[in-house]
Amino acid sequence: MKTKRLTVAQATIAYLKNQYVERDGVQNKFFAGCLGILGHGNVAGIGQALHQNLDFPYYVARNEQGMVHTAAAFARVKNRLQTFVCTSSIGPGATNMLTGAAAATINRIPVLLIPGDIFATRQVAPVLQQLESNVTQDISVNDCFKPVSKYWDRINRPEQLITSLPEVMRVLTSQAETGAVTLSIPQDVQAEAYDFPVEMFQKRVWHVGRTMPDKTLLSRAIQQIKESKRPMIIAGGGTIYSDATAILKKLVNRTGIPVAESFAGKGSLDYNEPQNLGAAGVTGTPGAIEIAKEADLVIGIGTRYSDFTTISKSAFQDPKVRFININITEFDSFKHGALPLVGDAKAILETLDKELSNFEVNGDYRKKVENFNKSWDQFVADIYAEKNEVPAFQGEVIGAVNSFSNPEDIVLCAAGSLPGDLHKLWRTRNPKGFHLEYGYSCMGYEIAGGLGAKMARPDSEIYVMVGDGSYLMMSQEIVTSIQEKQKMTIILLNNDGYSSIGSLSSSLGSEGFGTYYRYRNEETDQLDGGLLPIDYAANAASMGAHVIKASNVKELKAALEKAKTIDKTTVIYIEVDRKKAVPGFAWWDVAVAEVSEKDAVKNSLKTSLENKKTQKYYL
């Protein structure tokens, strides 16, 4: 066998840059490059290998968690058919990536993590940043990645790389099993040389197929749909990743089956399609909530049925409701005692469209759904109407950004009160126009994720909507966006603290305790003093962003116009009313203290117990 002598790190990069994916005859490189921060645990290994392979682009990040979010957002916009490698040093560099890894795995997004590790030889121990154990020497902080990775391996000998890397690719390119993959490489092993087979570095194409379910189960599903009187579809992220949005539109336009969208699935239909009920679940529209309550058949497409989607298992109230789950992941397809159609959403919907050619919902049901679509659009229009209050109303801010953006643009958000309002209000006009990380709802995802989205879709404007709480969690990737000339428009909404959790706290009787950004009061020894004088605009400017301040929505609209003419990341700062909120129409199961001295807590418990009576086991 012909061999080539390389270090383990050099062999890793040489292998990864020759990996391709193909779906529907379209082929592309799987890795767009590497995001990283170099330290003593990877600079002489992976760092040297990247320097030796300049055709594998390297991007310097500012925070290890942030770079994983960037990679995940990029992969999501690319429908999971392309991603980045993320490399870190050992110790804190590695563990900083844990949150990003968890978010990627929870959201079923492929990202490859290569953290440095301790010395495999153990001759030098403890090395700088090594976690020691008195019960084993075969452990490091990188073992923490095991529960948040879909595949995890440690390369202690060079030849182990030969069998490990194909497994890495198998999982990353699997539409059913994908998520974060961790390849832990000790720092001495990274630099160790070995005679690797030349064949290992040849181009390899991983085919992403469109699998079909068992024919018997498919026939049963078709029969159940034909027998249903009030069917509905819950469209999840898998609808979009499968590129099934066009066939979904064709199917529901003809049959009249209504569609409600999860956070990841929003954009499965354009907002103005007559069958689109809008947001599903806790942050859902009245139409989506009512139709779900009455549905006798729920067809889940690429959804994992989170508690927000199911209104904490109380959304579907018909005592005989049945479920059909179309999902590439067997684990998700069996949820709610469903008839499982394990396979590709697009391929299955194409079959259903043919087999249901004579099926339509009755006229009254179709009309009811269409009326819900129209009435909700009017509700949104009323929210969007310009009022120019000071401080601004968050719903009106969303409306200004939505109305200004083009159909091909992307809005991006993750945590706080914004996701729920965006889920309800944003008028989607293309499948990738709504980018919400809500599987992990990770504060700090927004700006780092916006960078990834821009790298994936350079011709689109990226509108990152972020609250002050998330901004303070992680805003450093503004610097990376400036360095790489990847322009985003960041709308920074300041409500002086954690508004979303403050509202939840108040609803539970805890009066928003600990959720304002206030000084400690010397008289009360509590955090009820004056508001903290945080200058977010100055902070953003210090990282190289262009900053525009707006005090009301009229000024915000002018700022959006100005931002579009600027060729670097622009932050638009606006203060919003913490207490004025977009109404909600459903409950969410959050634990309430069973005993308390406060009447507000007692009342909240009473309400919670009433709501819990509507919860069901779907068996």
pLDDT-derived band at 249 (thresholds 50, 70, 90) equals very high
Q: pLDDT grade, residue 48 (50/70/90)?
A: very high
pLDDT of residue 397: 98
Weakest mean pLDDT among 53-67, 282-296, 507-521: 507-521
Q: What are the backbone angles phi and psi of residue 100, rounded to the nearest 5°? A: -65, -40
Name 276's Cβ contacts closer than 8 Å, sequence gap at least 6: 258, 259, 261, 269, 270, 373
Extended beta strands in 220-290, E state: 231-235, 259-261, 276-279
- pLDDT more than 70, % of the chain: 100
Q: Is the domain defined by 3-207 classed in CATH 3.40.50.620?
A: no
Split at pLDDT 50, 70, 90, the class of 432 is very high
| Tokens standing for residue 470 | 């998330």
Average pLDDT over residues 264-289: 98
pLDDT, position 615: 97
pLDDT tens digits, 134-166: 999 999 999 999 999 999 999 999 999 999 999
CB-CB neighbours of 507 under 10 Å: 18
Q: Which helix (H) or strand (E) holds 462?
A: strand 462-467
Domain boundaries, the chain: 3-207, 215-375, 391-496+532-575
Tokens of 193: 């040389």
Q: What is the mean pLDDT of residues 320-330?
A: 98
Q: Which residue has the tokens 């027998």?
A: 227
| Band (216; pLDDT cuts 50, 70, 90) | very high
**Which residue from 27, 51, 53 is spatially nearest to 38, judged by alpha carbons?**
51
pLDDT of residue 23: 98
Average pLDDT value for residue range 390-408: 97
| Burial of 504 per CB tally in 10 Å (0-12, 13-18, 19+) | middle
Write out the two tokens for 203. 């181009």
Per-residue pLDDT, 419: 97
At 252, the pLDDT band (50, 70, 90 cuts) reads very high
Please, what is the average pLDDT of the chain? Answer: 97
* 568 within 8 A of 485, measured Cβ to Cβ: yes
C-alpha span between 155 and 169 (Å, rounded): 16
- The per-residue pLDDT for range 523-560, each reduced to its tens digit, is 999 999 999 999 999 999 999 999 999 999 999 999 99
Sheet of strand 546-550: strand arrangement: 434-436, 410-413, 462-467, 489-494, 570-575, 546-550
Give the burial string for 201-231 (b: 16+ CB within 10 Å, else e).
Answer: beebebebebeebeeebbeebbebbeebebb
What is the predicted pLDDT for the residue at 234?
98
Q: Do 3-207 and 391-496+532-575 have matching folds?
A: yes
Buried b (16+ CB within 10 A) or exposed e, 154-167: bbeebebbeebbee
Pick from 278, 285, 198: which is nearest to 6 by CA? 198
CATH class of residue range 391-496+532-575: alpha beta
CATH-assigned architecture of domain 215-375: 3-Layer(aba) Sandwich (3.40)
**pTM score of the predicted model:** 0.97
pLDDT for 602 equals 96
The confidence score (pLDDT) of residue 127 equals 92
Q: Give residue 471's pLDDT.
A: 97
